[in-house]
Amino acid sequence: MALWRRNGRKIRNKVRYNRREVIGFYLFLSPWLIGFVVFMLGPIVASLVLSFMQWDMLSTPQWVGWANFVNLLFQTPQFWQVMGNTIFYAFILVPLSIVLSLLVAVLLNQRLLIRSFFRTVFYLPATIPVVAVAMLWSWILAPAGVLNELLSFVGIHGPAWLIDPGWVKPSLILVGLWSVGSNVVLFLAALQGVPKYLYEASGLEGAGLFTQFYVITIPMISPIILFNLVNGIIGSLQVFSQTLILTNNNPSGLMIIPYLYNQAFQFFQLGFASALAWVFFIIIFALTLVILKWSQTWVYYESEVR
C-alpha cells in the first residue's frame, strides 16, 4: 500500500511534469504558431476562397465557382505562353546551375593557392541584392554593352540580349547562373564530408579520378544534389525581381509570378490571381513529388537500408 502510494505520487508527479513540458512546448512554439496562422495560414485559406470569387478589393466579392480556373486554363492564351517561358527558364537554369556549382565546388575542394580567396569570390555574387544585380546586368547586356563589346573583339555581332525575343530567356538564365555561390557552398561542405578512405580504397583497386567521382563522389553527395535540385526548381519557377526589372514585361521574358502580380495589383483581378496562384502551387507540388519519387532511384543515404 505504501509502495503504491509512493508510486502513485511518482506517477502523478510524472504526469504533472509531462503536462508542464507540453505546456512549455506550446508556449515556446506559440510565437511561430501565431505568426504562421495569422500571416500564412489565414491568407492561404483566404486565397483559396478568393479563387472562387470575383473581387476588385472595393466591391463585394461575388461567387463565380470554377469560372476563374476555366478562364485561366482554357481562355487565357497568355497564361500558357508565360507558363512556357517559366518552365523553359527553370528547366534549363537548374541543371546548368547544379553542374556548374558542382564543378566549381570540386575545383575549390582541391589544394590550391589562395583557395580561401577563390571561395569568397565565388560566393560574393550570392550576397548582392537582386535589384542591384539586375541593374548591373542590364548594363552588361545592353545592345552596346560590355558583353557585346567583348564579342566584337572576336568578330561576333552580339544580339540585343534583353530585347530580341529569341535571346531574352537565355539572357535571364545567364543572370541566374551568376549567383550559383550558395549552391557551391553546399556542395563544398558535402564534398568535404565524403570519407577519404573510400578514395584510398578505390585507388588501391585501380580506380581513376573519373571513376572515383562517378562511383563515390556523386552517390555520397546525392542528398545535397537532390536538395539543390528541389530548391532550385521551386526557386526558379517563382523568379520575380530580376525578370521584372530586366525585361520590363517583354512577352518573351514574362514569368508566372510577375504575371500573377500584374493580375492582382495592376488589374485588381484578385480572384483570377488567386486561382492562378493555386494552379501554380499544384503544379510545383506535383513536380516536387515526381522529383522525390525519382530520387529514390539515385539518391544514397548513408543510414538507409535497402
Q: Which residues bind another protein (CB under 8 A)?
A: 56-59, 75-78, 135, 138-139, 142-145, 160, 162-165, 249-251, 254, 262, 265-269
Closest CA relative to residue 140, chosen from 171, 100, 119, 110: 171
b/e sequence 185-202, b meaning 16+ C-beta within 10 Å: bbbbebbeebeeebbeee
Between 105 and 244, name the residue whose CB sits nearer to another protein. 244
Distance CA 214, CA 211 (A): 5
Query: Residue 194 Cβ, how far from another protein at the closest point, in Å?
Result: 45
Q: How many CB atoms lie within 10 A of CB 278?
A: 19
Distance CA 112, CA 99 (A): 21
Between 239 and 254, name the residue whose CB sits nearer to another protein. 254
One-letter amino acid identity for 168? V
- Sign of the four-CA dihedral 259, 263, 266, 270: negative
* Radius of gyration, CA atoms only, the chain: 26
DSSP 222-261: HHHHHHHHHHHHHHHHT--HHHHHHHTT-TTT--HHHHHH
Question: How many alpha carbons lie under 13 Å from residue 155 in its C-beta half-sphere?
Answer: 0
Between 18 and 78, name the residue whose CB sits nearer to another protein. 78
Which residue bears the cell 589544394? 111
Query: Residue 54 Cβ, how far from another protein at the closest point, in Å?
Result: 12
Query: What's the DSSP call for residue 25?
Result: H
Query: Residue 259 Cβ, how far from another protein at the closest point, in Å?
Result: 10
Query: Residue 127 Cβ, how far from another protein at the closest point, in Å?
Result: 22
Distance CA 49, CA 40 (A): 14
Between 265 and 285, name the residue whose CB sits nearer to another protein. 265
Between 78 and 192, name the residue whose CB sits nearer to another protein. 78
Query: Residue 241 Cβ, how far from another protein at the closest point, in Å?
Result: 14
Between 117 and 267, name the residue whose CB sits nearer to another protein. 267
Between 145 and 223, name the residue whose CB sits nearer to another protein. 145
Query: Residue 100 Cβ, how far from another protein at the closest point, in Å?
Result: 27
Query: Residue 139 Cβ, how far from another protein at the closest point, in Å?
Result: 7
